[in-house]
Structure 1
């Protein structure tokens, strides 16, 4: 966390009406000192604690490609910003087969007040100032879950709920790059789309929720490649919506 805030914003000096902004709800594995999750610290480098590779992409999009970013600075195990406040998984007691004992009986209201609400208030203010043409929500997914043997072959995927106008363009453009593209995979935006439901769909703003397979972006080289690819594809999508 920076200055006690559960988020940081990069490139806001470059915001302009009608541009793009990006959001990274699961960019950090940081656990504040006052929170004891009761888990093996090795798990903080696992996908259950953060979306591996996303922070580096969001930073590059902001610093090198002129797409301002709103980036989480707290682990999803402390408070999951990509959940509604009334969702039990906003403070998860388990994830992919791992128990999170420190969250059992946790003061949920305190977690929401310290982390979830400030994060979303700041994002709301950023969107109001930026008046973006489109929002890009960045996530990554593990090639395999410990609790499932279902294959996840997609290199990138687009998630959406009711508003698919940007996602369908992105699916086509990524496919033209020779990538294996998922359509509402490996999760469906019909069931899990909390941040974009609130800040994009409810406001009538087009968006792309992009899920990149983690092995594509585990290195700085992979993150740089995908930042460049995203800047190009998202820029072209924004012209079509």
Structure 2
């Protein structure tokens, strides 16, 4: 099983990422199959949405190819939740006492190496990560009122433009919601902020992209948003010269 799925694109000024695109599990790791259709197993709709955006924008994309119940690609390698033993109330027995170094070597390290190599080769002007979130956690908590959220780390240049654009379209959009990118932004911290590349992470409510029709609608919404972000960054860059 390859750790990363590469989609081609001629517009190398943009790079799309999807850490939680897959529900696949290798044969030697026993994850209960019923969990793989839930949000704990995969970011529902995020993979198809990333693929649709890659085609529409003719932009390269890198997608993870393993369920986050095997290893969470959107965590630092030393994060305690890297190989979850409990996820949204579900116990993952196969992960108790798992060989951490083996899973990092098989899945986590090659995935992040693929992103690193792509960023070094193409030097994109913008990196956009695609995720999805549940309307409400299975373990309870308040309903999440947003259709989308924009997350970011230290560099908020792209995020500010994206939030303003989506809200101007009447889309309920969270700023650092449903969680803060300053707390969890591992992939972009490493490959975008760490390299001085503007970036943002988009979270779409998963029931809105759970079918082909929803993916099509949100592909259009996000393609327009990405265009607005790129135009805004270009104008800011020109003004700074």
Same fold (TM over 0.5): yes
Determine which of 137, 151, 154 is the counterpart of 1:145: 137
The reply on whether 1:11 has 2:8 as its aligned counterpart is yes
SS in 2 for 1:190: coil
Alignment of 1:88-237 (within 5 A): 88-237=80-229
CA contact (8 A) 1:49 1:76 kept: yes
* TM-score (normalizing by structure 1): 0.94
Kindly provide the CA deviation profile for residues 71-122 of structure 1, in whole angstroms up to 9, marking residues without a partner as x: 1110001010100000021111110000001000000000000000000000
**Structure 1: gaps spanning 5 or more residues:** none
Partner of 2:238: none
Partner of 2:237: none
**Structure 2: gaps spanning 5 or more residues:** 234-241
Structure 1 position 57, deviation (Å) = 0.9
SS in 1 for 2:200: strand
Q: Measure the CA separation in 2 of the matches of 1:225 and 1:35.
A: 36
Q: Measure the CA separation in 2 of the matches of 1:126 and 1:224.
A: 27
Q: Measure the CA separation in 2 of the matches of 1:231 and 1:85.
A: 32
The reply on whether 1:25 has 2:19 as its aligned counterpart is yes
Structure 1 position 236, deviation (Å) = 1.4
Aligned length: 233
* TM-score (normalizing by structure 2): 0.94
SS in 2 for 1:89: coil
The CA RMSD measured in Å over matched residues stands at 1.0
Structure 1 position 188, deviation (Å) = 0.6
- 4+ runs of 1 displaced by more than 2 Å? none
Q: Measure the CA separation in 2 of the matches of 1:211 and 1:132.
A: 21
CA contact (8 A) 1:31 1:78 kept: yes
Structure 1 position 64, deviation (Å) = 2.6
CA contact (8 A) 2:4 2:63 kept: yes
CA contact (8 A) 2:11 2:57 kept: no
Determine which of 45, 49, 52 is the counterpart of 1:57: 49
Structure 1 position 229, deviation (Å) = 1.4
CA contact (8 A) 1:22 1:58 kept: yes
CA contact (8 A) 1:15 1:130 kept: no
